[in-house]
Copies of this chain bind each other. A is one copy, B any other.
Amino acid sequence: MALLETSKYSQGSVLGSVNPDLASERQTASFCVEKLTALLDGGTEQTRIRRAVVEAIQSDPVFSRENQYFQTQNERYEAAVRKAVHLQKKMHEMGWTENGPEYKYIYRALSGDVAFLLHRVFMRSISVLGSDKQIAKWIPLATQHKLIGSYAQTELGHGTYLQGLETTAVFDTATQEFILNTPKISAMKWWPGDMGRSATHTVVFAQLYIHGKCYGIHPFIVQIRSLQDHSLCPGITAGDIGPKMNFEHIDNGYLLLKNVRIPRENMLSKFCEVRPDGTYVRQGSQQINYFTMTTVRISLISDEVLTPLMKACTIAIRYSAVRRQSKLKPGEQEAKILDYQTQQEKLLPQLAAAYAFHFVNDYLQELFNRGYGEIQRKNFDMLPELHALSSGFKAVITQQCTAGVEICLRACGGHGYSLLSGLPSLYTKIIASCIYEGENTILLLQTARFLLKCFMAANAGQPVPPSVTYLAAVKHGKCPAKNKLDFLSPDIYTEAYQHVAVRLTSSAAAKLQDLIQSGVKKHDAWNQCTVQLVQAAKAHCHYIAVKNFAETVEKLETKADIQKIMKHLCDLFALHGIFSNTGAFLHDGYISAAQIDMVTASYLDLLAVIRKDAVPLVDAFDFTDKSLNSALGSYDGQVYQRLYEWAQKSPTNQMSPAYERYLKPLLHNTLSKL
């Protein structure tokens, strides 16, 4: 343990030993933290590799994030470019490759604070959408960084609805070129990362026109800046879209195209080709393309959503164990705020959610791998289910983790509000995940559409994908729980969640049918049901999450201590969901009011139980101090010293011209005034 304490210590200043209030929390852990870490990593070997990557990255001063909270947007951008360039060197030095086992830990170790992430998306889109010839031409150039790529899809006036994009690419048979234009201001490309200042090339999505006929959205490789001097190419207007809530390190950009001509060969043509005479040819199946969005949504959950929540929990829980405020018992010293029931009720459900969603992520990864295997065998049957689950969970997890980070921030009071706590930047970053890669409401409605379809099919006796077979089995029973301990049985609560998901799906379906039968047009009827459809989709995901957590716990039988604490967290996750949404369970009497009181009692009991292991449970996430970059969350819990030392380095403690210019004339009454 001594070794760990040293290795986790950081943030530049030399402080004393571990705060005794934090040390005492670790002495009573009911389980082995190291074992739980290995479980989360997927094995001790993974833990070893991850730690080696973290050590290599975080010991390199170029990758330091210590000044991050003091930097301007320009400084953040420049640092991110510097890190991206340095990373190339580092990877070579360390022998890391893009296909190696270390790769997935690199981005995490950098906390995403690096440029050229869109360069990878540029490469992936060429690999997926390009012909063999195009791949052979562009991928080596990109790999060797002879160009910097971006990905220009979203427009100022168009996000989610791709068919609405207004950028045009008109084929000119005479010159064998496409002529690209953003004909209106709303057609301007807006948001693409790395495009504002860095990229030399980008993949532009545009409406293809041949001989006056529109063939819909297609991708085109467009050079936007000179490879010689980085000046903008003819017909190109581009720049940075300015300040954002976070992502200051990324140069999200805008792009105007005015009669930009590109050769015919620059339309990515794995699936569609334009022949020299203007003939349009479709080839192969585009279904794999549809799979790409699924890939992205699943892959962002871990790094962009779970990691921030885990970090926020670590910071808030460690802080709550060292912060003392007010007295619980008269005559005693002030109490740790973690001992207040209201503080436990804020933080511990977030901790349980972090674990629950970690296991959901494992589940989705496994499902995804299976689906990918099937697709390789040209079997696309799993796609709709995969799409529905990845969409729904992207929405539910981003939403709940964002709310969780906000709760952690507020639970740290004033100190949580300081950027030095690390919490504001976690929040301002994670909230974007609710919007990008599919706006959450729209995604939930896609899940709901799938649910409705499966509900109809299941009730017509047709086969449905495994995750929704439960929709066929509408049960009209009641929850059998007789006392509060019964609610610690996974069967009891999983069944309750299932019941609610079925009820909400079936009642949304019934409302939709009633409306249509009463003469409301289909699209209007759909719109009038959307609030309830969103509820159904959420209930479905919540049910799967609870069920999956319970099943995961069951499989841990060889690790008794870990299993026990995970069981508590699973119970808490499930009961918190009921406690905070009692109406859904009470509505048709499946759970009675007396049973809700039992849920409440068990839920509050669990808070006190899990509170005892709260610090070890966040220690198991195994973040270094440098990863957390937080004055409140450090492993040693020396909160006040760290805040003070760090604040002193702030640029706001440099000399300001405000005194000579304004304060002195005011105080010396030499303002020419009054």
Contact = CB atoms under 8 A, between A and B. Distances in A.
A-B interface, 5 closest residue pairs, ranked by CB to CB distance from nearest: A582-B583, A242-B650, A583-B583, A243-B419, A240-B652
A505 to B, nearest CB: 16
A482 interface: no
Given A325-B160, A326-B161, A644-B185, A239 B417 contact: no
B583 A200 contact: no
A191 B416 CA distance: 12
Contacts of A586: 582-583, 586-587, 593
Nearest to A238: B653
Interface string A140-176: 0000111110000010111111001000000000000
A418 B646 CA distance: 29
Contacts of A74: 651-652, 654, 656
Interface string A305-324: 00000000000000000011
A428 B424 contact: yes
A664 B82 CA distance: 12
Interface of A: 69-70, 72-74, 77-78, 81-82, 84-85, 88-89, 92, 144-148, 154, 156-161, 164, 185-186, 188, 190-191, 196-198, 200, 227, 230, 239-245, 251, 254, 323-330, 334, 339-343, 345-346, 406, 409-410, 413-414, 416-420, 424, 428, 431-432, 434-436, 439, 441, 445, 521, 523-524, 527-532, 534, 581-589, 593, 596, 600, 604, 640-641, 643-644, 646-654, 656-659, 661-667, 669, 671, 673-674
Nearest to A86: B662
A666 B160 contact: no
A652 B73 contact: yes
A416 to B, nearest CB: 8
A161 B325 contact: yes
Given A92-B673, A243-B70, A434 B414 contact: no
Contacts of A521: 329
9 contacts: A72-B72, A73-B651, A82-B661, A148-B666, A196-B653, A329-B523, A341-B530, A406-B431, A583-B584
Given A243-B418, A527-B341, A78 B657 contact: yes
Given A593-B589, A662-B85, A239 B523 contact: no
Contact of A604 (B185, B198, B528): B528
A337 to B, nearest CB: 10
Nearest to A529: B341
A644 B190 CA distance: 9
A418 B241 contact: yes
B341 A531 contact: yes
Contacts of A648: 239
A89 to B, nearest CB: 5
A360 to B, nearest CB: 22
Nearest to A444: B342
Given A69-B243, A242-B419, A596 B604 contact: no
A659 B587 CA distance: 61
A159 B585 CA distance: 39
Given A341-B531, A651-B72, A188 B644 contact: yes
B230 A659 contact: yes
Nearest to A445: B342
Contact of A245 (B70, B343, B424, B436): B424
